[in-house]
Every structure is written in structure tokens, then in C-alpha cells.
Structure 1
Amino acid sequence: MEDLTIIALTGTDLKNWGHQPGPQFPDLLARANQMLADGTDVLTIRADLASEIPIPPEHVELHDDGAVPFHENLNPADADEEANLAKVRETMRAVMRTPTVVGGAIMPDACPAGPVGTIPVGGVVAARNAIHPGMHSADICCSLMMTDLGDADPAVVLDAAAKITHFGPGGRPQGGRFTVSLDLLDAFRANPFLNNAKTIRAAQEQMGTQGDGNHFLFVGRSRKTGRTAMITHHGSRGPGAKLYKAGMEVAEKYRRLHSPKTLKQNAWIPADSDDGRAYWDALQIIRKWTKTNHNSIHQATMEAAHASAGERFWNEHNFVFRRGDIYLHGKGATPGWAGFAADADPEGRTIIPLNMAEPVLIVRGADAPHALGFSPHGAGRNWSRTEHMRRLGAKTAQEALIDETAGLDIRFHAGKVDASELPSSYKPAKAVAEQIEAFDLAEIVDWIDPHGCIMAGEMPRFTRRPKGRR
């Protein structure tokens, strides 16, 4: 039986009653002792405060292995592709165990993108009422935009683009920056995930930049019309990376509370929570920033080349899309249904690049159920960048570039050829195009044959000075 002559209650008493320490604890303890000082007996105080004992979080268990199947839209043609597919299957099986997941699919360009259990490139994962930041990755809204430049000379356009665009880390220097609208910056400030000084500064400094890796600026001619076209490929840069980091931190809190057995990379934010609604809104703002980024490069290049712009359209392939209460996460997968976004091309066309020496495909998606409505985003890889370098053997990157891109104007912004972006580092373009049609993922409506492109190139490595030296 409890001692009713207690002079003061302690935190231990509250914990014994079931209360959890936290920011509310000092106030709770103060109120309990005030009630005690006012003459309220301990049993009444305990009963009075019982409504403030937190309800234990609901825990959700992982799906059994194989309980949620995924569709395969990939036919391996050789031993390398067989090995690649085995790794993709292994990681997708682990992803499918995530409690929120209701379906998945892999595209012809599928390849692993991290530890087992990480959504692969060329992967699509459908989740009910959940947004998984790890499934759109840090390169949020990686996307492509195409502008028809009419009868402009491709060589002139590429020269103009080389002076306009910006690759590499960081942003444009002061005095050379592109303008970001006040409305867009105000939208950043109004969102709890984006209202951060570093994020807003990155949004200003990095407008008109394309980053590194496999991002590019491509110029070619349409087979269908004979007109010159420019295509850019990049994502949301620093602003998107910072949103991803903030989203993963919030998702991790939910994972610890509700599903600690879920892999960290597959943590989620409940879409119907305040956090979920704010994160969804932040994704749309980052999407708008990314589209503006593409537009700024296209417009500046068009003006510098004295070209006239025809039609312009774009699509993302690293993003989250919503159909009812199902959230479709495409990691390197192109949405292929009508109206996937309010600004989607009215004719339903999307853009799929293959490699720097091959045409860029213009397709019309088929909304295939066996692909959850998606098509590939590119050619994908059958082996790692390191393995590709090994396979080049004694051949230098420059020699390989000359062999693989004869007749094309290929430039690397940093000056040094990045061998991991050579055509030979990707899956055969012809095979990917054939599988798009064989699996009825999309209809190819045009090919943009290459004149040339600009890639980021291999950036110089910066070394940290030893401590104490300047």
C-alpha cells in the first residue's frame, strides 16, 4: 500500500507510475507537488495525471520474405546481366519486407545502388500512406528537360552552352549568379523542412548549375523533325540534398518508434502526419526549384546562341508520385501515365537518355501495370565504376573516349575525362531500347541523334592540410 504521508514527489515516483522522461517532465513534477502541497492525496494525484501517460507507440512488423512480390521487366542477355539481376533481386526482396510497401517493380536499366535492402536504380516501390526519403535518394528530382531550338546549328548551341552551364561542386560565384524569384524563396522560408539558412543560400548560389556524376548537357537533332534539340540532366543539387537529410532524420524518429526492425535506409514519414504533409509540400517546392534551374540554363543558352525556342518539356525520374493513398517512389524510373504531374507534357512524352554516343529517346509511357506505370530512366550499369576501370585495362580514358565517341563533340567541363561515364560503362543502349518495347513500357516516338554533349568530368581532388599548417 502506498505511503500517503509523502512530503514531496520525485521523478522516480512519476516513472514508477508510467510517465516517460522528456521536455514535459519538469512541469508534470511541479504540478504533482503543487497538488500535494494543496492537500491532495497521492492516489488522487496519480489518478489525475494518468491521462498524461503516453500511449505506447504502435509497432509494425516486417513483411515475411516473399509476401510482397515485385515485377521484373528485365531480360538478362549475358553472364554480366545475370549477375547484376541476381543482386537487384536480392536487394528488392529486402526492400519488399518494409511494412508500408504494397508493390514494386524493376526496369530494364536496374542495377544495385547501395547495401542490400536499398532500392536499386531502375527500381519502383509503392507504399501506402508513407513517404520514404531514402527511396528518392539525395538527388531529389533528378530530371531531364528538352528544348526544340529549330534550325539552330548544333555546334553553335554546344559552344554557347559550354559558356553558360556550370558543373562541379558548389554554386556560381558572386556576380555570376542566376536570379531566384522572391516567391520561390518565400516558399522555402514558409516550409519547416526548407526554412534553413544553408538551404536557402544553396538555392540562390546553385541556380543554373548541374553538379557532377552522370549529369550532362546534350545537343542533337530530332530524327522526326530534323530540328536541333538541347537536353539537360540534373537534379536539385544542394537544396535537394539538404531536404533529403532533414527528411531522413524525421523518418528515423518514426522508424525507432514504430518499426525498429526496418532498415534505416527504408525509414518513412507517415504521409497523413503533420511531418508528412510538410515533407510532401517541400518535395513540390524542390521540384519547382529544379524545373526553374533547367529553364534558366536552357533560356540563357538559347539567347547566347541566338536561337528561337520551340516546344519545351521535362520529366523527373528520382521522385515520389501519388496515386490515391499510394506513394510511388521512383529511383531512376520515369513516370509513364497521363497527368503524372500538372505540368507533364500534354502529349504524354518523356525523355530517356542512353549514353553520350547514342540517341536520347523520346517516349510516350504506357502506364503498364507490371511496371507500376513507369519506364526506365536510362541505360543503367551491369558493373561498378571500379570494375569498368579494370576492364579498360591498359587503355587510357582519353583513348577509350576517342574509340567510343568517334565523330561526336564530347566535352568534360573539368577537363579530365571521367571514364566511368564512357558508353562502355553502361548497359548496351540497343538492348535497353528493345526491352522498353518488348515489355510494353513505353512507345518510342522520336530519337535525338547526338551532335555532342558536356559532362562534368573528373573533378580535382582536394586534400586537407595537416593541422597547424597554412
Structure 2
Amino acid sequence: MAKLKLSGKELRAIGYPQGPVISIAMNVMEKNYKHEKKEDVMELLKKILSAPVEYENDAVLGLIAQQLIPKKIVETGEAIPLNSTGIQFNVFGSEHIEEGAMHQMHQAAKLPISVAGALMPDAHAGYGLPIGGVLATENAVIPYGVGVDIGCRMCLSVFPINPKELIQRENLYTRELQEATLFGSGAVFDEAADHEVMERNEFDELPLLKGLQTRAWKQLGSSGSGNHFAEFGLIEIGEKDAILGIDAGVYVGLLTHSGSRALGANIANHYTKIAKEKRRLPGDAVNLAWLQMDEPEGIEYWLAMNLAGDYASACHHIIHEKIARAIGERPITMVENHHNFAWKEMMVTPDGKVKELIVHRKGATPAGKDVLGIIPGSMTAPGFIVKGKGEEASVFSASHGAGRKMSRTRALAAITQKDLKEQLQRHGVKLLGGGLDEAPHAYKDIEVVMKSQSALVDIVGKFTPKIVRMDGTAPKKWKVKNQLDGE
């Protein structure tokens, strides 16, 4: 029997008001009544609409009814204490991780919703969950456990091009990096690109998203600022891997790193504010406020987060498609992954039960068994195509990069233009844009990071940057928040 599928148009036709209730109703019914006849489900929805109070306390349908009942004045959320000890979590490459990140992970481990956790070797302090932090929770999602840049991700296109072309036709590849995307925190296109993600129902059904759609359309295919980049480089495959499926050899690669732009940032900040109002946490844990997955705000955030992730993916695909057309080549494969996101995953809990948990990876790469991903280095250091080993001790995760060893403020004070120029020349890298705050000197040694997680991933390919484009705007006097990348 086909699974139940509803549309916002159908719900509006029977009288459901425009707003979050439509997405919530669709989600609840498609999950809990997926094998029922559509006409029976629609009849039940009509009954809820006509008398929502009668369904207010229903364990399932109450989520819909509560949206239809006039809202009461919301009281200040209850103060929630942390557990005194907290769950155990594993740390990889602990000798290279700053105390601030360790402290934040210990705070996250004390949340009453926490089930499992791990800290990656590129970790450093962030907001709420540290960057490089992985946390599995039960029936709860933490907006700042995902991060502000929802769906920040890597995307690699592998082209069957002679590597010598990057030198012989350097001007072509440079021009295409310049023309294919925009950098800068407020950058927008004069003419919006087209992609099916912009037609998603969530833009109509969640009031917050409706107000963000126009700007999101103008930023579709852009790349942002900070540590985001688009670059050409050489891909080395030592031997054919069954999962990657590429013969041994050297290829040309296009690698991009960016997220969901203003769309994701607005979603993160909006729902973090709601989470903080509902659940007041003490001291340094305040940014770890969560939303329950069975309450309206949690359902809304989950829908919005997934949309932002799909939007981020669309931005990458638009860039890669533009460049592929311009250079007249089609990639033989693509490798891509989110590293600021939350997933529903089945895991064995400490009490031996198998449960669906919410796994937050904030600046961490999914590394389930045979799952491919990209872990970049810096503008001069190599990145790696990796294959997960499915290590439960790391909550099936690995690092998302080399990780910063200097804040942006410290980098701007400590590194000179001469230092950066010498480093670029030494590695034969052409830099378009990019500032001292993103100089290679500000990052940990990627080789050391990879050794620290050899039990988590296998390296199946190496990417060496050659032409790198980043944001070219003048560095700002960074505030603390802006010192943090990967948020």
C-alpha cells in the first residue's frame, strides 16, 4: 500500500489556516497515519479543525490541535538543572584541543537529554556545542548544537582532465571561479538562479521562512565569507576504492565549502531564542537550550533545518553546474557532505536498547560505515576524501577540517602579508581574495589531525589546492562571535 502523502493545498482547501499548523499536521499525519486511507485522514483532520479542544490532550493529534487553539500567554520557561556528572564521551586528539572546547563538551554532557557524545581532533570553542562536537540526544534538538550556518558542507566534483591544464589554462579556471559565485556576508545576485528548493511548501507554511524567501533566492548559489571557499586542485587516487569507484590516477577537482547563508542564520537565531524561553539553563550551558521533537516548535525547527540543508546543497550544485558547463566537462563523480546538521539515527544506548536519537554534528563529518566525505586542510594544506569506518566510539563521526589554532583576532595580529605570500609561493597556490585571518598559519596541522582519527576513517583520495577563491573584503575588527568558524 502506498504511503500517505498530503499537501498544504489540500489542507487549506478544508479550512486549515495559513501557518505552521499545516506543516505540523502534514508531518504528524504522514508519520502516524501513513497506511490509512487518505479520505479517512482528511475526515479526521476536519474533525480536529472543528473541535480542536477535544483533541488537545491526545498524545499524537494534540500537536495539531494545540496550533488551532488560541494561544495563551506564554510563561517564562522552567529553570532546568544540569546533571551532576554527565554522560561519558570520547575525545580524539585531546592533546591538540583547547580547554574552552573541552569545557563546552562537558557542559553538553550534563544535559538531561544527552545520551552519547564525542569530540573531534579539530575541535575549538563555539557557541553552545563546541565546533568539532558531536552530541546524540533523545527526543530533542538543540539549534546551537547544529550551528548558525545550518547545512555548511563540502562538495567535490572530480573531472577527468589532464592536471597540466590547471597551469596551461590557469586564466580559464581563475575566471570561472570568479564568475560562478559571490563571496561576502551580504552578497546577493542581481538575477536569481532557479532551483526546485525555492518552490518548497515550507516557504509558504512557516511564517519565518516566508519572510526569508526573497533574500534566499537572491543568495542562491553564493558562498558567504569567513572560511568558505571555491577552489580547483589536484586529486590523487592511490588505488581504486569500491565505494568511491574511481581508478587510480590524478584528476582535476573542484571543491567548494559554504552553507545556507542568511536563511540558516535566521532559522538558528529564531529557534534558539524560542528554546531559551522554554528551557532556562544555568551559566555557560545557556546556549544549549533545546526543543522537544514532539512539540510544535521542535517540529517547525526540524522542517526549517532540513530546508536550510537542502538549500545549502542547492547552492553548491548550482556553482558546480555553472563551472562544469563553462569548462566543457562533466564530473565523473561527486562527493559531498554536511558538517553542521542534525540527523535521526538508530543507535544502541548505554542501557543496551536500540533507539532513534538526534545526532548533532557541529563541525563534524558523518563517518558511518563506508560513508564518503571530505575533510579539507587550509588554502595550502591538502584535504582528504575519506570513507567512514562506522566507529561507535566517535558517534560515527570524524573531524570537519584541520580546525583553527588561532582566533581571527590573533591571526590578524600575528600573521603578515609577507608570511602569507611566502606560504602561497612555497605550495604553488594562487589565491583570489582571502585574508590573513584565513592564512594557513591560523590552522592546525591537517596531517596530525588525520593521524588522530585514523581509527575513524580511511583515506581514499587526496586533494591539493592550486587556485583558491575566498572572500576578498577587508578584515573587520572581529567580535568574539565572528572569531568562530564552522558555526
Q: Same fold (TM over 0.5)?
A: yes
Counterpart in the other structure of 1:435: 452
1:179 match: secondary structure: coil
> In the alignment, does 2:293 pair up with 1:271?
yes
**1:240-276: CA deviation from partner (whole Å, max 9, x where unpaired):** 11111221122123214xx577833111110122222
In structure 2, what residue type is equivalent to 1:328? V
C-alpha separation in 1, matches of 2:206 and 2:267 = 10
Counterpart in the other structure of 1:378: 401
Counterpart in the other structure of 1:232: 256
User: Which of 358, 365, 387 is the equivalent residue of 1:327?
Assistant: 358
Counterpart in the other structure of 2:420: 401
Counterpart in the other structure of 1:192: 206
1:226 match: secondary structure: strand
- Contact 1:194–1:282 under 8 Å retained in 2: no
2:201 match: secondary structure: helix
Shift of 1:432: 1.0
- Contact 2:224–2:258 under 8 Å retained in 1: yes
Shift of 1:387: 2.4
> In the alignment, does 2:409 pair up with 1:389?
no
Counterpart in the other structure of 1:63: 83
Runs of 4+ in 1 over 6 A off after TM superposition: 52-59
TM-score, normalised with respect to structure 2: 0.72
C-alpha separation in 1, matches of 2:216 and 2:119 = 33
TM-score, normalised with respect to structure 1: 0.75
In structure 1, what residue type is equivalent to 2:296? D
C-alpha separation in 2, matches of 1:426 and 1:280 = 32
Counterpart in the other structure of 1:350: 373
- Contact 1:62–1:262 under 8 Å retained in 2: no
2:279 match: secondary structure: helix
Shift of 1:56: 11
Q: CA 1:299 to 1:432, structure 2 compared with 1: closer, same or farther past 3 Å?
A: same
Counterpart in the other structure of 2:143: 133
1:387 match: secondary structure: helix
**1:344-399: CA deviation from partner (whole Å, max 9, x where unpaired):** xxx6210000111122100001121221110000001223222233433xxx22x1
C-alpha separation in 2, matches of 1:55 and 1:204 = 36
1:321 match: secondary structure: strand
C-alpha separation in 2, matches of 1:239 and 1:86 = 32
C-alpha separation in 1, matches of 2:290 and 2:374 = 29
Shift of 1:57: 8.0
Q: CA 1:97 to 1:227, structure 2 compared with 1: closer, same or farther past 3 Å?
A: same
In structure 2, what residue type is equivalent to 1:73? F
User: Which of 173, 179, 187 is the equivalent residue of 1:157?
Assistant: 173
C-alpha separation in 1, matches of 2:188 and 2:288 = 34
User: Which of 115, 121, 124 is the equivalent residue of 1:108?
Assistant: 121
C-alpha separation in 2, matches of 1:195 and 1:110 = 31
C-alpha separation in 2, matches of 1:201 and 1:85 = 40
Give 1:136-147 correspondences, 5 Å limit: 136-147=146-157
User: Which of 126, 130, 139 is the equivalent residue of 1:120?
Assistant: 130
**1:84-125: CA deviation from partner (whole Å, max 9, x where unpaired):** 4333222221222222112221111011124xxx32111111
C-alpha separation in 1, matches of 2:148 and 2:371 = 27
The gaps in structure 2 that reach 5 residues or longer are 1-71, 238-248, 347-355, 478-487
Shift of 1:170: 2.2
> In the alignment, does 2:253 pair up with 1:222?
no
Give me the identity figure in percent.
26
The gaps in structure 1 that reach 5 residues or longer are 1-51, 339-346, 463-470
